[in-house]
């Protein structure tokens, strides 16, 4: 079995893994980080979106061995202690979630949207969310939540 090492939410992990183990299952089953959700297993829904080396990635599309040496950020790494990240706060304040299943992936893709475009237009936000599905909200409040975060994060 290959040994992999990666930094997840600031902590370095080394584990022996099956070569066929998906990154999403490594995070959930080996590291116990269950905030990253398994939705479709076909990269269609985006519930498993995480940040790998500064890029939003659907973790059901990568093997854990492909992330060897990577720096990974998951939903669990967004808040600082009890203080929510501005994106998480935006989802709370603007009612950007209903059932919450898609929320971790939405927050992680929102993180990339705001990293690339600190003051995105509504159209840019909607375009950035295109690979992440929500069955409950209709996206309006998700867009408002990201706008809230953009306003809070940019002077």
pLDDT digits (tens, 9 = 90+) for 112-129: 999 999 999 999 999 999
Give 61-107 pLDDT, tens digit per residue.
Answer: 999 999 999 999 999 999 999 999 999 999 999 999 999 999 999 99
Fold designation for 3-77: Ubiquitin-like (UB roll) (3.10.20)
Please give the pLDDT value at position 83: 97
Q: Is 76 in contact with 139 (CB distance < 8 Å)?
A: no
Are β-strands 71-73 and 3-8 bridged in parallel, bridged antiparallel, or unpaired? parallel
Which residues of the chain form CATH 1.10.150.120? 86-153
Q: Which CATH superfamily is domain 86-153 in?
A: [2Fe-2S]-binding domain (1.10.150.120)
Domain with CATH 3.10.20.30 in the chain: 3-77
């Amino acid at each position: 079995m290959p040994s992999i090492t990666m930094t997840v939410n600031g902590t370095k992990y080394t584990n022996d893994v099956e070569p066929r183990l998906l990154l999403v299952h490594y995070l959930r089953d080996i590291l116990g980080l269950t905030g990253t959700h398994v939705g479709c297993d076909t990269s269609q829904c985006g519930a498993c979106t995480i940040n790998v080396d500064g890029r939003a990635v659907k973790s059901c599309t990568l093997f854990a061995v492909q992330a060897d040496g990577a720096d990974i950020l998951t939903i669990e790494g967004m808040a600082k202690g009890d203080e929510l990240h501005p994106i998480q706060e935006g989802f709370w304040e603007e009612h950007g979630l209903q059932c919450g299943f898609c929320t971790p992936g939405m927050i992680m893709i929102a993180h990339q949207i705001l990293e690339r475009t600190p003051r995105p237009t509504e159209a840019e936000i909607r375009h950035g969310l295109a690979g992440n599905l929500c069955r409950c909200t209709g996206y309006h409040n998700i867009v408002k939540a990201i706008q809230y975060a953009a306003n809070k994060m940019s002077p």
